[in-house]
């Protein structure tokens, strides 16, 4: 089991956040008393660290366990909109997030041969309209900033995971894959669309996962295209292998590449290299610079590929275990709202737990009652987008349709 101090990035033996990662000041909540409620959060991407920040501020004793040996690199550029910006401001990280925003100025659409068919500075495919205050930031930057914001009072356990959950009167006994066993008052599954915590408590994934079709692969490549805060949508004209989205990030030093398939023949391969091979084979005849972008995929350490899917549950909690973010209500990348729902959900859950000390059932019910309507409307955006609807007035009416309350 590895304990990592997120304030200075040290760890034993696994490395902590990478050198040069964006830093924030530690949380200024009250010191955590020895008898404070103990909360275990599984997952250190977005929802988990966001919840850890607020719970620590409210006087809970928080542990975050993450299966990876350090904070995960890579992932898509994610968007924070409407109420998520309010939560980021309340968390004290909004200015820092804006410093690390992609800053994309517009996009071009290319045909199969690489000819530009459209150019706009009004919107991008991933970020939507550029005349709003919405924020697009790399997922790994958002994760590091939230971890740092939690300060020294959050305990992080990297290179470990939950292996067993046993609910007992008044507490939960947790067995870790590394062999340790500990007790907590509450367990939170914030470990993504394929949540292991959810499987342990709620049952097999197939009961709750709704496939939307296809898959998307994401990786980092050098900016050999020379893009300057710009995005390119390359369209193949193939209904199944639609093409690529390529965006310059990190002050134009890198490209974040998205390549997708609208349809899979059978299941997505389990092995990482087989997923790369699938994309390479389906795009073997592609034009423009896609062969060169695919060549960088093979060595990309942050390559990630997954199916398009949503999670739908009748209830987000069971006993003293509650789910958060994609583990509870994944909207899929097609919704454009995954990180916003995670950030807002973390704030709402923390506030509900604060308002009902010692009564997790009441807190979980309040969390779900406040959030479910907005989450359901956001999930519906994904299928609407897949049917061809753009980022229009209806989209923003849903996005902005939640008011953040004081807790």
Same domain, residue pair 277 and 219: yes
Q: What is the pLDDT of residue 108?
A: 98
pLDDT digits (tens, 9 = 90+) for 31-80: 667 789 999 999 999 999 999 999 999 999 999 999 999 999 888 899 99
* Average pLDDT of the chain to the nearest whole number: 91
Same domain, residue pair 53 and 81: no
* Closest-CA residue to 343 (of 74, 77, 143): 143
Q: Is the pLDDT of residue 11 over 60?
A: no
Same domain, residue pair 106 and 129: yes
Asked, for residue 350, whether it belongs to a domain, the answer is yes
Same domain, residue pair 202 and 83: no
Same domain, residue pair 200 and 236: no
Domain boundary among 287, 309, 331: 309
Could you identify the residue written with the tokens 């995005």? 231
Q: Is the pLDDT of residue 187 over 70?
A: yes
Vertex 82: Cα angle to 80 and 85 (nearest 5): 55
pLDDT digits (tens, 9 = 90+) for 280-330: 999 999 999 999 999 999 999 999 999 999 999 999 999 999 999 999 999
Q: Which residues of 71-93 are buried (b: 16+ CB within 10 A; e: fewer)?
A: bbbbbbbbbbbbbbbbbbebbeb
**Spatial distance between the Cα atoms of 142 and 78, rounded to a whole number of angstroms:** 9
Task: Please state the φ and ψ torsions of residue 123, each to the nearest 5 degrees.
Answer: -160, 165
Same domain, residue pair 33 and 165: yes
Asked, for residue 405, whether it belongs to a domain, the answer is no
Same domain, residue pair 290 and 219: yes
Domain boundary among 309, 327, 360: 309
Same domain, residue pair 247 and 302: yes
Domain boundary among 277, 292, 309: 309
Range of the domain at 48: 2-72+142-208+310-399
């Amino acid at each position: 089991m590895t304990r990592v101090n997120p304030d200075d990035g040290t760890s034993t033996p696994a490395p902590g956040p990478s050198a040069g990662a964006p830093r924030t000041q530690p949380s200024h909540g009250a010191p955590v008393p020895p008898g404070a409620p103990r909360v275990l959060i599984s997952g250190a991407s977005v929802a988990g660290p966001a919840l850890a920040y607020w719970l620590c501020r409210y006087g809970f004793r928080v542990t975050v366990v993450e299966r990876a040996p350090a904070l995960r690199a890579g992932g898509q550029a994610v968007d924070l909109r409407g109420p998520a910006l309010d939560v980021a401001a309340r968390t004290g990280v909004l200015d820092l997030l804006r410093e690390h925003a992609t800053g994309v100025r517009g996009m071009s659409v290319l045909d199969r041969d690489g000819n530009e068919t459209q150019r706009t500075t009004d919107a991008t495919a991933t970020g939507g309209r550029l005349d709003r205050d919405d924020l697009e930031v790399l997922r790994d930057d958002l994760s590091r900033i939230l971890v740092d914001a939690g300060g020294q009072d959050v305990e992080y356990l990297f290179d470990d995971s939950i292996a067993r959950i046993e609910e007992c009167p008044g507490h939960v006994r947790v067995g870790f894959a590394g062999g340790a066993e500990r007790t907590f008052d509450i367990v939170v599954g914030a470990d993504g669309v394929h949540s292991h915590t959810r499987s342990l408590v709620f049952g097999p994934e197939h009961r709750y996962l709704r496939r939307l079709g296809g898959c998307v692969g994401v990786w980092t490549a050098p900016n050999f295209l020379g893009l300057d805060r710009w995005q390119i949508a390359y369209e193949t004209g193939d209904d199944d292998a639609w093409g690529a989205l390529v965006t310059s990030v990190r002050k134009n030093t890198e490209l974040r590449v998205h390549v997708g398939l609208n349809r899979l023949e059978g299941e997505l391969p389990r092995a990482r290299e087989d997923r790369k091979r699938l994309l390479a084979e389906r795009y073997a005849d592609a034009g423009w610079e896609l062969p060169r972008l695919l060549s960088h995929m093979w060595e990309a350490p942050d390559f990630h590929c997954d199916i398009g899917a949503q999670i739908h549950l009748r209830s987000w909690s069971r006993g003293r275990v509650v789910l958060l973010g994609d583990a509870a209500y994944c909207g899929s990348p097609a919704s454009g709202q995954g990180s916003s729902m995670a950030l807002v959900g973390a704030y709402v859950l923390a506030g509900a737990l604060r308002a009902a000390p010692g009564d997790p059932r009441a807190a979980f019910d309040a969390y779900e009652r406040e959030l479910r309507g907005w989450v359901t409307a956001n999930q519906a955006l994904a299928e609407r987008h897949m049917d061809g609807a753009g980022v229009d007035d209806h989209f923003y009416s849903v996005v902005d349709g939640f008011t953040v309350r004081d807790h």
